[in-house]
Amino acid sequence: MAKVEKTKEVLDKVVIRFAGDSGDGMQLTGSQFTFTSALSGNDLATFPDFPAEIRAPVGTVEGVSGFQVQIGKVHIHTPGDESDVFVAMNPAALKSNLKWVKKGGTLVVDTDSFTKKDIEKAGYEENPLENDSLQEYNLVQSPISTLVKTAVEGMDLDMKSTLRCRNMFALGMMYWLFDRDVNQTVKFLEKKFKNKPAIVEANIKALHAGFFYAETVEALPSTYTIPPAVIESGNYRHISGNQATAWGFLAASQKLGRDLFYGSYPITPASDILHELSKFKQMGVITMQAEDEIAAVCATIGAAYAGNLGVTASSGPGIALKGEAIGLAVMTELPVVIIDVQRAGPSTGMPTKTEQADLMQALYGRNSDSPCIVLAASTPSNCFNYAFEAARLAVEHMTPVILLSDGYLGNGSEPWKYPKMADLPEIKAPGTKSKGEDFLPYARDDEKMNRAWVVPGTKGYEHRIGGIEKEELTGKISYDPENHEIMVKVRAEKVARVANYIPEQEVVGEDKGEVLLVGWGSTRGSLFTVCKDLQDEGKSVSMAHFNYLNPLPKNTAEILSNFKKIVVFELNDGQFANYLRGVYPEFKYEKYNKVQGMPLTVAEIKEEVSKYC
């Protein structure tokens, strides 16, 4: 094939999406493209999209796995609404993902997979490559399967192993299209499959074949360059939200000078935290995979009682099971952190899809009056910061903290600058000066109202703990009605006073104006992008995005009072708006809610905000 003369264009940013069957390696393909782009200095954000069924039928829409990444020389805050380039490995991938491709965007499809059987499985009545349904796109029809077979011809591989290299061919095409270096992926393959040299060779051959094919095919007339982003100097790595969460607790454990105990039961999408922490036994980390959610949280409470930093995690269904034990941690006033990586429910719901619908459960989902501190991370990288902060608040205020993440944050990734341990705040466990007969386990610090954290068995500090109401000061079992009311109010006041020890809420933009965009958790990237875009257009729009949910920052009411319209955006049916309405009923709140298992897009937020400015 004769070499086609190509042009080169420079772009500020671009969105690429890969999709195929679960066995097609789309997560690996997207991750490698992301990793290579990070090494090239691009800012980026990713959105892995997994099928909910573990083994959905091959070739069906239900079994499609996708991965979207936005890279740029500008600051990137979301993985993008619609893709500029979409690689579809089969008809089902095209069917389920076409709605997220820009009109005029490039579609790369493996024509070999568009057999009559697979077209029907995907729900098409006719072959979409042979009618006018794709005429609004730049369609690149590539016989990827055939070309891969040719590339590895002569190697002693079965057909299944051969076709598993298709993803590397597609990745090679994208490396050429966006001026990426293939060498990092070559090194990755050599390391990952070092004991399988034939697999290494076949994948590398497919990778290079895809690169050179893209260089010659006429349907790709240009290659694109995305220059490195201008970012603060320092050491960076590409990190996912779940990994950042794990590392945040590692840092907190080191600062505190106590071992970290992590007890959990495997559940999507929180399991990666357990996998990550299990690697750090040499740092004093104890991980326990429990037989169920109740055992996991109870073991964690026991570890906290024994003087460890106690952490457990789950998703919404597991948090429901942990409810009674979290109440026990509230009553015993022990520093336990509970992570909720939220997913779409109720019950099992859509276990691989994202949602923010556990807020009310975090705030109130325990019997009796048993308040917890509640925090929410808002980007994959700041999961590190809020994991560290959750540990600090739990220890310094001697009360459970619930940290809300979600599937979008936990599985998503972005560049992260390594912090210096010296720059992280100290974590000081509360002690006591009294001893022996003078020691009162429920005596309180005047300001924070916390009790001492005493390791059981310490001579002179003997005390009782359990699930029956405590007597004020002594901690002995008490059924006295007045004492019960005192203890309930003390525990609530202790959490309320945390507002004195957290930052005031920041506002992006002017402190006063027409419209205030309000959000919490993982909606930050999309809201921030819209806010900045509208400000550049001269609109009076600001944003308050909350990470501290209970208690709310002390200046929240002041901020809300300075805007004519308050619009709350959430991935639920209005829980934070209702919460704000209960705490600050003097203000009126508009709501925009999305309950589809998908993150908010910039386009839909802009459309909603246009109603108010």
Residue 68 forms part of a structural domain: yes
Same domain for 218 and 264, yes or no, is no
Count CB-CB contacts under 10 A for residue 18: 31
Give the DSSP letter string of 407-438. Answer: HHHHH-EEEEEPPPGGGSPP------S--GGG
Same domain for 568 and 525, yes or no, is yes
Looking at 450, 477, 500, the residue that finishes a domain is 500
Give the DSSP letter string of 373-404. Answer: EEEE--STTTHHHHHHHHHHHHHHHTS-EEEE
Q: Is pLDDT of 600 > 90?
A: yes
Q: Report phi then psi at 269, rounded to 5.
A: -105, 35
Same domain for 98 and 183, yes or no, is yes
Question: How many Å apart are CA 109 and CA 106, to the nearest integer?
Answer: 10
Strand runs (DSSP E) across 219-355, as ranges?
222-225, 236-240, 260-264, 285-289, 309-314, 336-342
Same domain for 320 and 397, yes or no, is yes
| Residue at token pair 């945040």 | 248
Q: Is pLDDT of 3 > 60?
A: no
Count CB-CB contacts under 10 A for residue 604: 15
Q: Is pLDDT of 219 > 90?
A: no
Looking at 225, 251, 281, the residue that finishes a domain is 225
Count CB-CB contacts under 10 A for residue 38: 22
Question: How many Å apart are CA 403 and CA 336, to the nearest integer?
Answer: 11
Residue 383 forms part of a structural domain: yes
Task: Check whether the bond before 269 is cis (ω within 30° of 0).
Answer: yes
Could you tell me the pLDDT band of residue 10, with boundaries at 50, 70 and 90?
A: very high
Q: What is the mean pLDDT of residues 226-244?
A: 93
Could you tell me the pLDDT band of residue 495, with boundaries at 50, 70 and 90?
A: very high
Q: Report phi then psi at 592, rounded to 5.
A: -130, 115
Helices (H) and strands (E) in the chain, counts: 21, 21
pLDDT at residue 1 in the model: 46
Residue 232 forms part of a structural domain: no
Could you tell me the pLDDT band of residue 493, with boundaries at 50, 70 and 90?
A: very high
Give per-residue pLDDT as tens, 541-557.
999 999 999 999 999 99
Q: Is pLDDT of 506 > 50?
A: yes
Beta bridge partners of 309: 260
Q: Is pLDDT of 466 > 90?
A: no
CATH number of the domain bearing residue 528: 3.40.50.920
Same domain for 382 and 467, yes or no, is no
Could you tell me the pLDDT band of residue 465, with boundaries at 50, 70 and 90?
A: confident
Same domain for 47 and 133, yes or no, is yes
pLDDT at residue 434 in the model: 84
* The one-letter amino acid at 60: T
CATH number of the domain bearing residue 85: 3.40.920.10
Q: Report phi then psi at 277, rounded to 5.
A: -70, -25
Same domain for 304 and 409, yes or no, is yes
Same domain for 442 and 530, yes or no, is no
Determine contact, residues 71/102, Cβ cutoff 8 Å: no
Residue 235 forms part of a structural domain: no
Could you tell me the pLDDT band of residue 5, with boundaries at 50, 70 and 90?
A: low
Q: Is pLDDT of 332 > 70?
A: yes
Which of 6-20, 47-61, 164-178, 544-558 is least confident?
Answer: 47-61
Q: Is pLDDT of 347 > 70?
A: yes
Which of 9-18, 134-143, 424-433 is least confident?
Answer: 424-433
Q: What is the mean pLDDT of residues 497-509?
A: 98
Give per-residue pLDDT as tens, 83-116.
999 999 999 999 999 999 999 999 999 999 999 9
Question: How many Å apart are CA 96 and CA 284, to the nearest integer?
Answer: 45
Residue 2 forms part of a structural domain: no
Instruction: Report CA-CA distances (Å) from 129 to 26, 139, 474.
Output: 22, 9, 77
Instruction: Report CA-CA distances (Å) from 539 to 4, 95, 436, 544.
Output: 47, 38, 65, 16
Please, which residues have CB within 8 angstroms of residue 346's CB and are 6 or more apart in sequence? 316
Q: What is the mean pLDDT of residues 129-149?
A: 96
Same domain for 61 and 82, yes or no, is yes
Q: Is pLDDT of 380 > 70?
A: yes
Q: What is the mean pLDDT of residues 243-259?
A: 98
Same domain for 158 and 218, yes or no, is yes
Domain count for the chain: 4
Please, what's the largest Cα pairwise distance for the chain? 92
* The one-letter amino acid at 15: V
The domain of 486 spans 436-500
Q: What is the mean pLDDT of residues 345-358?
A: 96
Q: Is pLDDT of 432 > 90?
A: no
Residue 329 forms part of a structural domain: yes
CATH number of the domain bearing residue 332: 3.40.50.970
* 108 sits in which H/E element: strand 101-110
Residues above pLDDT 90, as percent of the chain? 91
Q: What is the mean pLDDT of residues 108-127?
A: 96
Residue 114 forms part of a structural domain: yes
Same domain for 487 and 408, yes or no, is no
Question: How many Å apart are CA 367 and CA 90, to the nearest integer?
Answer: 50
Could you tell me the pLDDT band of residue 160, with boundaries at 50, 70 and 90?
A: very high
Please, which residues have CB within 8 angstroms of residue 498's CB and are 6 or more apart in sequence? 373, 393, 397, 551
Which of 193-197, 355-359, 401-405, 601-605 is least confident?
Answer: 193-197
Same domain for 274 and 412, yes or no, is yes
Looking at 191, 225, 259, the residue that finishes a domain is 225
Residue 19 forms part of a structural domain: yes
- Find the angle CA(162)-CA(163)-CA(164) to the nearest 5 degrees: 90
Could you tell me the pLDDT band of residue 4, with boundaries at 50, 70 and 90?
A: low
Q: Where are the alpha helices (DSSP H) in 183-314?
A: 183-192, 197-216, 241-256, 271-277, 293-305
